[in-house]
């Protein structure tokens, strides 16, 4: 008969895995990676205020007279022209998408770890933790590729001629970048936490409850 085992550390690992995945996913979807300079436009002699345009990995937003207009500039996916969707940003999107997909699977594995602590005699915690570390590496590569693309024609049009790889010129970094960085750090923390989760679910205290015939072991 299977056992449901939950400890404070394993529960923290499960919740942190879910939060981490959602953090990077939300950052990837939000066009707040780069914030361009505020612009003043003129239409038939009338001054029209324009809020700062923002750009994400594959989408962008503009603000005109307090009206926000957002859209996806990668209309043809990875086949979109490189002047519109920089090649390095395409690579960045692939890395982030792979990382988020992997983390989504590890989130499901983390939930299953309550009922199934091993697969083919291998700890589901350590295997999942190793996969999470790999996802963290993909996130780092995604960040590097995105920053390398700051010298593309799209970024130069937004941030000025001085923009180049790893330098934004007149633009500033949006909160989505910080969210992605936070998610990356948390991903490595979850990978390390998986080791502690494995130890607590196989501790002597847990084994004592299992030997008593208890099918639900909850040590919080």
Q: Does residue 12 surpass a pLDDT of 90?
A: yes
Region 96-103 average pLDDT:
98
The single-letter DSSP state of residue 36 is P
CATH architecture of 4-33+81-219: Up-down Bundle (1.20)
Considering the chain, what is the average pLDDT of its residues?
89
DSSP 38: P
pLDDT in tens, 101-119: 999 999 999 999 988 877 7
Whether pLDDT at 17 is above 90: yes
Instruction: Output the pLDDT for position 1.
Output: 47
Give the tens place of pLDDT for each residue, 129-188. 999 999 999 999 999 999 999 999 999 999 999 999 999 999 999 999 999 999 999 999
Range 12-39 average pLDDT:
95
Return the domain boundaries, the chain.
4-33+81-219
Residue 143 to residue 150: CA distance in whole angstroms: 11
Query: For position 117, what pLDDT does the model report?
Result: 79
Would the CA dihedral through 181, 186, 187, 188 be positive or negative?
Answer: positive
pLDDT score, position 207: 75
């Amino acid at each position: 008969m299977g056992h449901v085992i939950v400890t404070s550390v394993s529960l923290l690992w499960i919740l942190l895995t879910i939060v981490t995945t959602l953090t990077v996913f939300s950052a990837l979807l939000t066009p707040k990676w780069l914030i361009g300079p505020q612009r003043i436009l003129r239409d038939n002699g009338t001054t029209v205020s324009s809020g700062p345009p923002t750009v994400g990995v594959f989408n962008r937003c503009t603000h005109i007279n307090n009206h926000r207009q957002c859209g996806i500039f990668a209309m043809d996916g990875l086949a979109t022209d490189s002047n519109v969707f920089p090649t390095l940003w395409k690579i960045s999107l692939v890395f982030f998408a792979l990382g988020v997909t992997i983390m989504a699977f590890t989130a499901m594995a983390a939930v299953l770890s309550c009922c199934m602590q091993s697969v083919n005699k291998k700890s589901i915690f350590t295997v999942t933790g190793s996969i999470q570390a790999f996802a963290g590496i993909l996130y780092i590569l995604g960040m590097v590729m995105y920053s390398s693309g700051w010298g593309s024609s799209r970024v130069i049009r937004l941030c000025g001629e001085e923009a180049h790889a790893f330098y934004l010129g007149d633009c500033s970094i949006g909160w989505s970048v910080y969210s992605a960085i936070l998610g990356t750090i948390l991903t490595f923390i979850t990978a390390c936490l998986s080791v502690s989760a494995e130890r607590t679910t196989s501790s002597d205290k847990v084994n004592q409850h299992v030997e008593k015939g208890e099918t639900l072991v909850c040590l919080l």
